[in-house]
Amino acid sequence: MSCDCEHDHDEMIPEMATVGQKVPAFAMEAFDPAEGGFCEVDLGALREQGKWTILFFYPADFTFVCPTELADLAAKHEKLAALGAEVISVSTDTKYTHLAWKNDERLLADVKFKMAADTTGEVSRFFDVWDYASGLALRGTFIINPEGVLVSSEVNFFNVGRNADELVRKMEANAYLMDHPEQACPAKWTPGGKTLTPGEGLVGKVYEALNE
């Protein structure tokens, strides 16, 4: 993890990622399946481009649940990209292992998002998905908004795969709220659904607001 240490002295850099706080800019080496070569993923550059960032941590290449998750994510990649998000998968494997796994595992045939290499585990530790017993990352999904603020965090243990449909829903909700900060999205909200505007008039009247 290479951190950009140029920052306002009044801005505290957290020791660990916390929802609602700014994530410091950092860079990682990666394999880019779309280009077929190696590259660098730079959160500072993505922020300057006004991009959302989705970090999708998983335990290891050449394992079992992991390719099913990446295949599921690949199926939603285009939709997430249309929402302005850069999708980056992350494990503690090297960029060379990412390349070999992508070429060998047929489930990864449609993967086009960058596959980052957190070989030291530093990024995994910052996002609190590092498993000290195994030296692997847990299944963590993090959404960072264009201002660099962490707005969503999800962590699963090794044996439970995620659902990219829910990731899309959360990304849609967060993108909507970026443009409508005075509102809030209720449970199971999807685009076009009713939102809530918190205030004294809404206290005890959520049912009415959603069913009027």
CATH of the domain at 164: 3.40.30.10
Same domain flag for 104 and 130: yes
Same domain flag for 61 and 130: yes
pLDDT at 14: 63
Same domain flag for 23 and 95: yes
- Exposure b/e, 102-125, CB count within 10 A at least 16 = b: beebeebeebebbbbbbeebebbb
Same domain flag for 71 and 167: yes
How far is residue 32's CA from residue 23's CA, in Å, rounded to a whole number? Answer: 23
Domain that holds residue 185: 181-212
Same domain flag for 79 and 113: yes
The helix (run of H) or strand (run of E) holding residue 155 is strand 150-156
Same domain flag for 31 and 65: yes
How far is residue 144's CA from residue 47's CA, in Å, rounded to a whole number? Answer: 9
Structural domains counted in the chain? 2
Same domain flag for 195 and 171: no
Same domain flag for 124 and 188: no
Same domain flag for 115 and 187: no
How far is residue 60's CA from residue 102's CA, in Å, rounded to a whole number? Answer: 12
Distance from the first to the final alpha carbon of the chain:
50
Q: Where do we find the tokens 């195994």?
A: 134
Tens of pLDDT along the chain (212 residues) come to 444 433 343 344 468 999 999 999 999 999 999 999 999 999 999 999 999 999 999 999 999 999 999 999 999 999 999 999 999 999 999 999 999 999 999 999 999 999 999 999 999 999 999 999 999 999 999 999 999 999 999 999 999 999 999 999 999 999 999 999 999 999 999 999 999 999 999 999 999 999 98
Catalytic site residues? 66
Same domain flag for 30 and 68: yes
What ranges in the chain are assigned the alpha helix state H? Answer: 43-48, 65-82, 95-104, 122-126, 164-179, 206-211
